[in-house]
């Protein structure tokens, strides 16, 4: 259902996963990733939100420091995800969320949700 998009941020371009609803969107949601990147689970969540009527975008926040990062839900993935999240920092993450917001806000009311580490980012963004 969704597709890869490019998002402009103050520090460069990042990729993202965008899913559109079948009808006019109720609004837009930014889906903030876990420490595992925009992996199959986050893409599935984004697609599911589109099925509920929202234009949903999951910015690949780690692209600012390590493009294309997708990690597994194992010890190695957790360790690497923590390293990359620390390297990016909350300011870098918020820059990516802001880029997604700028992409959406002209035509939609925008909310931000997140999971795990992304929940903290969403809290700060909101």
Please indicate, yes or no, if residue 125 is contained in any of the structural domains: no
Contacts of 37 (CB under 8 A, 6+ apart): 60, 62, 69, 70, 71, 81
Rounded to an integer, what distance in angstroms lies between the CA atom of residue 92 and that of residue 14?
12
Phi-psi region of 67 (alpha: psi -120 to 50; beta: other; left: phi over 0): beta
**Which tokens sit at 79?**
């360790």
Q: What pLDDT, in 10s, does the model give residues 82-114?
A: 999 999 999 999 999 999 999 999 999 999 999
Instruction: Report the number of distinct structural domains present in the chain.
Output: 1
User: pTM, whole model, 2 decimals?
Assistant: 0.95
Phi-psi region of 12 (alpha: psi -120 to 50; beta: other; left: phi over 0): left
Please indicate, yes or no, if residue 18 is contained in any of the structural domains: yes
H helix intervals, 39-74: 40-51
CATH code for position 33 = 3.40.50.1820
Q: What pLDDT, in 10s, does the model give residues 36-87?
A: 999 999 999 999 999 999 999 999 999 999 999 999 999 999 999 999 999 9
Rounded to an integer, what distance in angstroms lies between the CA atom of residue 6 and that of residue 100?
9
Which residues constitute the domain of residue 60?
3-119
Please indicate, yes or no, if residue 124 is contained in any of the structural domains: no
pLDDT at 1 over 90: no
Please indicate, yes or no, if residue 75 is contained in any of the structural domains: yes
């Amino acid at each position: 259902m969704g597709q890869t998009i490019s998002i402009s941020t103050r520090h460069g371009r990042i990729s993202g996963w965008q899913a559109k609803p079948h009808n006019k969107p109720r609004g837009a949601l930014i889906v903030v990733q876990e420490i595992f990147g925009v992996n199959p689970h986050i893409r599935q969540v984004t697609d599911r939100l589109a099925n509920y009527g929202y234009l949903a975008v999951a910015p690949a926040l780690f692209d600012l420091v390590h493009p294309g990062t997708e990690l597994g839900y194992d010890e190695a993935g957790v360790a690497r995800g923590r390293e990359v999240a620390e390297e990016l920092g909350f300011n870098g993450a918020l820059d990516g969320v802001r880029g997604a917001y700028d992409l959406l806000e002209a035509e939609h009311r925008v909310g931000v949700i997140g999971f795990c580490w992304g929940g903290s980012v969403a809290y700060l963004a909101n």
